[in-house]
């Protein structure tokens, strides 16, 4: 079964939370803290890997990465729902901000990283 909508995911997890009477715990503060914990679990899967190894995860590790990424997404979507934020619209708006902040022509040939561009301005 293919699911391709953040709204679908949000509705499914909202029902999951409501069915378990967990709504009282779904505050932005608690969701942000849970999100941070899940990001930590995701980072732990990459700890000590070389950059090359991190691009080539497979098998059980790849499945674990997928599960932790899903946890991160679920908490992020739930937090956006609780705060009345259209996450997709906010992401598109942030892309527009970044496109203005980091113009492509400034990075084409020099291999500069974003923090280096800010420092050079």
Q: Where are the domains of the chain?
A: 1-85, 86-121
- For 89-112, write each residue's pLDDT tens digit: 999 999 999 999 888 888 877 777
- Cα 66 to Cα 13, 62, 91: the distances in Å are 17, 6, 21
What percentage of the chain has pLDDT greater than the value 70?
A: 94
Rounded CA Rg of the chain: 18
Return the CATH architecture of domain 1-85.
Orthogonal Bundle (1.10)
Hey, CA dihedral for 42, 47, 50, 51, is it positive or negative?
positive
- For 11-26, write each residue's pLDDT tens digit: 999 999 999 999 999 9
Residue 37's pLDDT is 98
- For 24-41, write each residue's pLDDT tens digit: 999 999 999 999 999 999
């Amino acid at each position: 079964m293919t699911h391709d909508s953040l709204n679908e995911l949000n509705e499914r997890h909202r029902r999951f939370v409501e069915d378990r009477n967990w709504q009282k715990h779904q505050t932005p503060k608690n969701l942000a803290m849970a999100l941070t914990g899940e990001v930590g679990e995701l980072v732990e899967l990459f700890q000590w890997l070389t950059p090359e190894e991190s691009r080539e995860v497979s098998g059980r590790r790849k499945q674990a990465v997928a599960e932790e990424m899903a946890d991160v997404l679920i908490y992020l979507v739930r937090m956006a729902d609780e705060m009345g934020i259209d996450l997709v619209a906010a992401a598109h708006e942030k892309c527009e901000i970044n496109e203005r902040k980091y113009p492509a022509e400034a990075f084409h040939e020099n291999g500069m990283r974003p923090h280096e561009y800010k420092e050079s301005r």
